[in-house]
């Protein structure tokens, strides 16, 4: 079996689902092509092929009137599917995690040398950039309108030539449309909107309705132009994220500061960020402490206070102090670039509803042709009707029946939702994931790093004679230089409280027990409770305090000064600040939640009581997978939320695997969805966005079919004619797209 390669292309000029259908059908006919996935909203195409001549693929697309150029370095062998990429039946079942990140310009700029074939494709000609009248599509619409006005003027001055003037005006817009119809038919799409439009316009001329034919062609071009504007807005939503990253950065080089292109920054380079500047790369703060405005990337309105060793993202805004940042990701791999790329790829995979509508439209359009033919022929043949009247009505039905609005109803809403979610740190890998999220009835959370912060904090300082500050200072003295999580918790608390930490002498690690040292003439020991018991250092009351703290799920260290118990320091991995509110949001939405953790049952119970959640403790990865399977058998649609590594079996077993993380490769690329900014409440927001999207899709389908039904009836009974019929098509498409774009502005 030959190895399959995958190549991604930028395709310019796509505005509606009919565009994607024509390209899909044409490229599938190329020898060696195994699969094709086209995204109108992202303006991309992914082709799986056997490595044969790619020029043939590009020629097919340009022959339809679109521009096409491969992403730099995008051709690569397609690996086996990753563990967490569930097969939800996506149209192009490709592994998002293995695409090249090295696309030019962060993966979203067009490659050089794209060329358009003029006069072949009214949906596009060129991408909708700049003002609408500067595009070829806009200019053709203006030319067609001017020709129509000219025909009316000539007809008013010289009535005898009016019919010919309207035919000429019609041809100004129809010739490019007819050429595209022929190209689409030759490429495997005979029932395109261009073909329906051409038949209707030519038929109208034959029955002496040239004036209406010219008007219909002009209105068609206006509608197509509006579709282009609307589709452009949808694309801009996610691609505008890319503009957040500065073009230049201030690089520290041998003690000097120099300005360099942000794209040239290497991992581990040190950059300086001035007050008020946008940070030009993902990185870790080396020096400086300041409030960072992360709203452009995370949607968080309140600036976040960050200091040394804190993670910062490209595109966020520095506060009022100078920062030095060590770069952790190259330009093509920073969080924004990867989000843009992943969302574009996600838009190429189709939701179940979208696939159903695609299949429906394949039969719907030929069906419309049959109905139009019957309306035109049956009444005159069998009931004595007027040929001109009924042929006219049949031609109007051709225009009413175009499936553009129906076919775009789902992908437009899904693309808008994926973009809106991405701007708030909610990544969903495709329409199938987005659709399934709205059906979730049970969310199973990991504990550490998901419901909790993932690092312990000092919660209690219990002194037996010393002041709290004296106790904390002595404990911190012994932990200097240690990287153990519990040691870091004590050191961070000492720093936060402003407690002095003098140097210690003769520090000695006591394996399995604790640490010992001397300072200021005192011998200090920081021990586990069991080690302190071995020395007989704890009395009954002190033992009771240790037990009570342990029952609350806290780890306890005992400080001995010259062999006598001086106090206790208790630490626990505390719940995230929004954990209670986030779980409450899920409950309000009718979604149940439970916690699956490998921690001991005492710790698990203590956290679960704080959060008010059901729990299972002391679970191995296979145990979590088993519980998820049991929940599914009980009828729940299960989402599993974890860190994407040790929860791998459970994430794979769930209907939806959600990675909780801060922009890591795991969070971005392993699960079906990712909550980039570690907010528990974002899981509820993701589910709410899915439900809102499905309501929007239902509204869109109602608009598309409702308008067609109304105009179908009014056309048959003789109230409306050709030009209202074309409004039923393009008008519905524009309305559906505008309705979908409302999702971009939704508040979460």
- DSSP annotation of 208 reads T
Instruction: Please check whether residue 407 is in contact with residue 351, taking contact to mean a CB–CB distance below 8 angstroms.
Output: no
Query: Residue ranges of the alpha helices (H) in 158-266?
Result: 162-186, 193-206, 210-239
**Is residue 592 within 8 Å of 441, Cβ to Cβ?**
yes
Cα–Cα distance measured from residue 414 to residue 407, given in angstroms and rounded to the nearest whole number: 12
Nearest CA-CA partner of 642 in 674, 617, 611 = 674
CA distance 592 to 444: 9
Alpha carbons within 13 A on the beta-carbon side of 211: 12
285 is written with which tokens?
């703060």
Here the tokens at position 294 are: 């992360």
Radius of gyration of the CA atoms of the chain, in A: 32
CB 335 within 8 A of CB 280: no
CA–CA separation, 493 and 504 (whole Å)? 18
- Chain centroid to CA 576: 24
Whole-angstrom distance, CA of residue 479 vs CA of residue 23 = 64
Residue 11 near residue 45 (C-beta atoms within 8 A): yes
Cβ atoms of 350 and 429 within 8 Å: the answer is no
- Most distant CA atoms of the chain, gap in Å: 118
Burial class (CB in 10 A: 0-12, 13-18, 19+), 33: middle
Phi-psi region of 297 (alpha: psi -120 to 50; beta: other; left: phi over 0): alpha
Cβ partners under 8 Å of residue 250, min gap 6: 257, 258, 259, 271, 272, 273, 274
CA dihedral for 569, 572, 576, 579, sign (positive or negative): negative
Question: Is 428:686 a contact under the CB 8 Å cutoff?
Answer: yes
The catalytic residue among 35, 90, 446, 655 is 446
Let me know if 729 is a catalytic residue: no
Whole-angstrom Cα distance, residue 514 to residue 537?
14
* Residue 522, strand partner residues: 519
∠ CA 478-482-487, rounded to 5°: 70
Residues with Cβ within 8 Å of 243's Cβ and at least 6 positions away in sequence, in order, are: none
Positive or negative, the CA dihedral 506, 508, 513, 514 is positive
Q: Which two tokens stand for residue 602?
A: 């005492």
DSSP string covering 297-340, please?
HH---S-EEE-TT-EE-TT-B--SS-EEEEE-S-GGGSHHHHHH
Nearest CA-CA partner of 401 in 13, 18, 14, 15: 18
φ/ψ of 284, rounded to 5, equals -125, 135
The DSSP string of 42-92 is TTEEEEEESS--HHHHHHHHHHTT-EEEEPTT--EE--PPPTT------SS
Do β-strands 614-616 and 592-596 pair in parallel, antiparallel, or remain unpaired?
parallel
Give the tokens for residue 526: 């920081």
Q: Which residue has the tokens 């991405």?
A: 422
Burial of 470 (0-12, 13-18, 19+ CB in 10 A): middle
Nearest by Cα to 11 from 436, 19, 3: 19
**Annotated active-site positions, please?**
446
């Amino acid at each position: 079996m030959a190895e399959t390669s995958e190549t991604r292309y930028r395709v310019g000029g796509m505005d509606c689902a009919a565009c994607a259908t024509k390209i899909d059908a044409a490229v599938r006919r190329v020898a060696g092509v195994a699969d094709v996935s086209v995204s109108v909203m992202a303006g991309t195409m992914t082709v799986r092929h056997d490595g044969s001549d790619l020029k043939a693929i590009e020629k097919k697309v340009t022959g339809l009137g679109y521009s096409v150029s491969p992403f730099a370095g995008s051709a690569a062998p397609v690996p086996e599917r990753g563990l967490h990429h569930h097969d939800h039946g996506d149209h192009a079942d490709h592994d998002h995690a293995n695409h090249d990140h090295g696309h030019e310009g962060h993966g979203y700029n067009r490659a050089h040398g794209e060329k358009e074939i003029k006069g072949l494709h009214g949906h596009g000609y060129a991408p909708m950039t700049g003002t609408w009248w500067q595009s070829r599509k806009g200019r053709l619409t203006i030319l067609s309108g001017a020709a129509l006005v000219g025909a009316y003027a000539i007809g008013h001055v010289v009535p005898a030539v009016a019919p010919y003037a309207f035919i000429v005006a019609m041809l100004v817009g129809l010739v490019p449309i007819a050429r595209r119809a022929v190209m689409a038919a030759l490429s495997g799409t005979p029932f395109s909107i261009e073909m329906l439009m051409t038949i209707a316009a030519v038929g109208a001329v034959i029955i002496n309705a040239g004036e209406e034919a010219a008007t219909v062609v002009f209105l068609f071009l206006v509608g197509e132009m509006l579709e282009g504007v609307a589709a452009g807005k949808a694309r801009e939503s996610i691609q505008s994220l890319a503009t957040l990253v500065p073009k230049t950065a201030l690089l520290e080089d041998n003690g000097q500061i120099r300005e360099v292109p942000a794209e040239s920054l290497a991992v581990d380079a040190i950059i300086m960020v001035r007050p008020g500047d946008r940070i030009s790369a993902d990185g870790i703060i080396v020096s400086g402490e300041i409030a960072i405005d992360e709203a452009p990337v995370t949607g968080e309105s309140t600036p976040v206070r960050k200091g040394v060793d804190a993670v910062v993202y490209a595109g966020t805004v520095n506060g009022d102090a100078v920062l030095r940042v060590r770069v952790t990701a190259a330009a093509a791999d920073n969080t924004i670039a990867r989000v843009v790329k992943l969302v574009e790829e996600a838009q190429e995979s189709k939701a179940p509803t979208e696939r159903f509508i695609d299949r429906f439209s394949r039969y719907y359009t030929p069906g419309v042709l049959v109905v139009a033919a019957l309306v035109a022929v049956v009444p005159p043949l069998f009931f004595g009707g007027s040929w001109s009247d009924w042929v006219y009505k049949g031609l109007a039905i051709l225009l009413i029946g175009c499936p553009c609005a129906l076919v775009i109803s789902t992908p437009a809403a899904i693309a808008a939702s994926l973009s809106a979610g991405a701007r708030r740190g909610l990544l969903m890998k495709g329409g199938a994931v987005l659709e399934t999220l709205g059906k979730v009835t049970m969310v199973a959370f990991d504990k550490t790093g998901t419901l909790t912060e993932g690092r312990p904090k000092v919660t209690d300082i219990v002194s037996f004679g010393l002041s709290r500050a004296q106790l904390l200072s002595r404990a911190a003295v012994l932990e200097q230089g240690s990287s153990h999580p519990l040691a870091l918790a004590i050191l961070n608390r000492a720093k936060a409280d402003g407690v002095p930490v003098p140097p210690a002498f003769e520090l000695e690690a006591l394996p399995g027990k604790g640490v010992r040292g001397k300072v200021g003439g005192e011998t200090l020991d920081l021990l586990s409770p069991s080690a302190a018991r071995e020395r007989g250092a704890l009395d009954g009351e002190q033992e009771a305090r240790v037990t009570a703290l342990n029952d609350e799920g806290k780890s306890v260290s005992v400080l001995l000064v010259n062999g006598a118990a001086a106090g206790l320091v208790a630490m626990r991995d505390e719940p995230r600040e929004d954990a209670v509110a986030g779980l409450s949001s899920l409950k309000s939405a009718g979604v149940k939640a439970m916690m699956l953790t490998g921690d001991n049952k005492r710790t698990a119970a203590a956290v679960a009581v704080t959060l008010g959640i059901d729990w299972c403790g002391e679970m191995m990865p296979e145990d979590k997978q088993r519980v998820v399977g049991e929940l599914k058998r009980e009828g729940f649609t299960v989402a599993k939320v974890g860190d994407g590594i040790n929860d791998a079996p459970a994430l794979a077993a769930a209907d939806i695997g959600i990675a909780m993380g801060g922009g890591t490769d795991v969070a971005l690329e392993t699960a079906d969805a990712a909550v980039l900014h570690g907010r528990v409440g974002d899981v509820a927001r993701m589910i709410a966005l899915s439900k809102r999207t499905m309501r929007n899709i239902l509204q869109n389908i109602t608009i598309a079919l409702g308008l067609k039904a109304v105009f179908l009836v009014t056309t048959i009974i003789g109230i409306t004619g050709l030009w209202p019929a074309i409004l039923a098509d393009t008008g519905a498409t524009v309305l559906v797209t505008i309705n979908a774009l409302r999702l971009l502005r939704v508040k979460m």
